[in-house]
A and B are shown apart, each in its own frame.
Chain A
Amino acid sequence: MDWHRFQKEANTDPVLARQGAGSSFRLLLKRGDDEYVIEVREGSVARVHAGPFVMPQCDFALAGSRAAWARFACAHPAPGDQDIFAFFRSGELTLTGDTRKFYAHLMCLKLVLGHLRFEP
């Protein structure tokens, strides 16, 4: 994952800037054995911290296999692979942590995660 490109594209997205305005949270993204904390401050991706972590500071975590995240991050996802809730239904992604905060910042979170997809 090119996290530098992810951060740059997210932070130049006018939709995220408007719809994510005011959102601040720390997402622990688990991709197989890999761990990352995506730190969002006021609707911008402030930093991506790469693990491994012993006791990561985060508000909530999304965990799935490398294969599941790869399907989600495909530039043109197949039907059913375009949203984290689809992976909740299939059981391929799990949410843990502060569910209230997850819902409170869900719009910003989904717009941020959309930038895991790069056009080739």
Chain B
Amino acid sequence: MNAILEPVTGRYVRFEHDDRPYRIYFEEAGQGIPLLCLHTAGSDSRQFRGLLNEPRITERFRVIAFDLPWHGKSSPPPGWQRGAYRLTSTSYSDLILAFMAALGLERPVVMGCSIGGRICLHLALAHAAKFRAIVGLQSAASTPRYYDPTWLSHPEVNGPVAGAATVMGLMCPESPEAERWETLWHYMQGGPGVFGGDLYFYQVDGDFRTRVQDIDTEVAPLYLLTGAYDYSCSPQDTRETAAHIAGARVRIMPKLGHFPMSEHPQAFIAELLPVLEEIADEQRSTAG
């Protein structure tokens, strides 16, 4: 047998937040500058498996990816059966800050995709000083409602499978088949109502169009990386958002879609490495 033991470790951290006990699962690998990774709506931290296994990143960055409560291996808090799950700008950003405090992370780089990319804009506005740099993937200030996600919670619809079917076309058709279908598998394992609950933040509560111009990229550099095949957060959406933020640095990734780190990890890493180099260099020059 030729077994490979990955350098990735998974652990749980428990903390009280918003008067409720949470048990949050996270994976990490590497050492150096903390790089906190935020998964997309309806999925989990497995989306960052490629980054966690990439020595060119982990030799300089401590990559940490956690499952939001209700996602992956982070169960909902007790009492979940009595209320609907609904992510908001406030609950999302507060949870990220609580996780950082629980792990004692000081000024990490935060990198989030889709809903994670959107919350990066909120963090850049309200909490920029807590971060070394902010990297939004598939990030824009708003998304039009071109489909109705409430159908994903209909009792006669298999929500997780329909959710996977909803997002499957957001990927570049040329991304590797195995990686695309692994990305869909994560969606197929989602809890009932969770994807739709995340989309409440993405489509309704998290509209950020009137506030992005107040982001100060002097406090924390802001990078916006968007895959060309994404029609949910399209390159045009990202460019329009960036046009209102002085100093935002945009990079369009031509052969990627809405799930760059998961649908084609190697292609994404090639796009990300120069950004991380820049962040590490700025860190060095600041420290020097």
B151 CB contacts on chain A under 8 angstroms:
99-100, 103
State how many residues of chain A have any CB contact under 8 Å with chain B.
19
Give the B interface residue count (CB, 8 A): 28
* CB-CB under 8 A for A79 and B162, given A85-B169, A89-B146, A110-B169: no
List chain A residues, Cβ under 8 A from B157.
Answer: 100, 103-104
- Residue among A79, A82, A83, A85 with the highest chain B CB neighbour number at 10 A: A79
| Chain B residues within 8 Å of A46, by CB | none
**Interface presence of B65 (CB below 8 A):** no
Which of B152, B173, B232 interacts with A77 by CB under 8 Å? B173
Is A53 close to B, CB under 8 A? no
Q: A80-B229, A82-B173 are in contact. List 18 more A-B contacts (CB 8 A).
A: A79-B235, A80-B231, A82-B172, A83-B169, A84-B169, A86-B169, A89-B144, A89-B231, A89-B232, A99-B151, A100-B151, A103-B151, A104-B157, A104-B162, A106-B162, A106-B166, A107-B164, A110-B165
Q: List 9 A-B contacts (CB under 8 A).
A: A80-B234, A82-B169, A85-B166, A85-B231, A100-B151, A104-B162, A106-B162, A107-B165, A107-B168
- Name B's A-contacting residues (CB within 8 A): 144, 146-148, 151-152, 154, 156-158, 161-162, 164-166, 168-170, 172-174, 228-229, 231-232, 234-235, 254
